[in-house]
Structure 1
Amino acid sequence: MTPLNLPSYDYKTKEIDGKTYIHDAIRKKYLVLTPEEWVRQHFIHLLVTHYGYAKSLIRLEGGLAYNRLQKRSDIVVFDRDGKPFLLVECKAPEVKINQSVIEQASRYNLTLRCPFVVVTNGLNTFCFEIDFETEKFIQLKDLPTIERS
């Protein structure tokens, strides 16, 4: 797998019928190791280990409805009150983070209304704070922290 610009960690993989699987610490099961899953698992590790987000407040590949279509959000972090706080859209390392990717995450966020949106391919990561009243995005230099209780 492609080396990422995210902290490395001691991940667990296994081979089944010639396919490689990676352990997902949130869902507590092995998933097929795709380039996007590689990025998602590293980003989860970053959120939990480096930013102190609780595993119990993270939902992966949650369903959401947008324009009568069923979509899946990659990572959603909830605050201590159970409100969506941070939406993360993960892409494979070879996918460039461009306006189209940012717009995709923004469309998903119309349903969730997270105050923070992140797009990452594991090589480049962009975080935005959303002001829903003015409909403006403010690019942040770092991810937001969440208060621990």
Structure 2
Amino acid sequence: MQALNFPKFSFRFKNSENKISIFDCIRKKFVILQPEEWVRQHCVLYLIEIKKYPISLINVEKELVVNGLKKRYDIVVFNPNGSIFLIIECKAPEITINQNTFDQIAQYNRTLQANYLMVTNGLNHYYCQMDFENERYIFLKDIPSYN
């Protein structure tokens, strides 16, 4: 897998039936290593090791219903009270982040109501804080660390 624009992290891999899997510490299982999964696992370790979010507040690849359609978010970080703090949308490195990517996460956020959004393809990261009152997002240099 290609190098990403994240700090170097240590991952667990296994090879089974000529397929490489990576261990997901949130789902507590090995998952097939695809380019988007490579980005997702870097994001998870970035949240845990760099931003100091507790594993117990992080959720990965869960279903949600948006406008009657079943969708799956990549990563959600909860506040201790159970509300959603952050949604992260991960794309494979070869996918260009564009308005469609932001529209996708904004659509998810109409349901989830997170205060912060992150969109990444592992090479480029975009961070936003929601301004619900004015229905816009404010771009940031990074997401806040866990307090």
TM over 0.5: yes
C-alpha distance after superposition, 1:64-91 (max 9, x if no partner) = 1111100011000001111100000000
| Correspondence 1:86-97 to 2 at 5 A | 86-97=86-97
Shift in Å at residue 33 of structure 1? 0.2
Structure 2 residue aligned with 1:48 = 48
C-alpha separation in 2, matches of 1:146 and 1:107: 25
- Give, in whole Å, the separation in 2 of the partners of 1:107 and 1:57: 22
Q: Is the contact made by 1:127 and 1:142 (CA closer than 8 Å) also made in structure 2?
A: yes
Whether the aligned pair in 2 keeps the contact of 1:79 and 1:146 (CA below 8 Å) is: no
Question: What SS does the aligned partner of 1:44 have?
Answer: helix
Structure 2 residue aligned with 1:144: 144
1:82-133 CA-to-partner distances (Å, cap 9, x unmatched) read 1100000000000011111111111011100001010000000000001111
Partner of 2:124: 124
Deviations 1:24-47 (A, max 9, x none): 011111000000000000110000
- Cα distance in 2 for partners of 1:136, 1:144 equals 19
The CA distance in 1 between the partners of 2:74 and 2:125, in whole Å, is 14
Distance 2:102 2:136 in 1: 13
**TM-score w.r.t. length of structure 2:** 0.98
Structure 1: which 5+ runs fail to align?
none
d(CA) in 2 for partners of 1:17, 1:87: 33
CA RMSD of aligned residues (A): 0.7
Deviating 4+ runs (over 3 angstroms) = none
Deviation at 1:146, TM superposition (A): 2.7
Identity score, percent: 47
State how far apart, in whole Å, the 2-side matches of 1:90 and 1:54 are: 20
Shift of 1:9: 1.0
SS in structure 2 of the partner of residue 47 of structure 1: helix
Number of aligned pairs?
147
Q: TM-score, normalised by structure 1?
A: 0.96
Residue 119 of structure 1 contacts residue 126 of structure 1 at CA under 8 Å; is this kept in 2?
A: yes
Q: Which residue of 2 aligns with 1:99?
A: 99
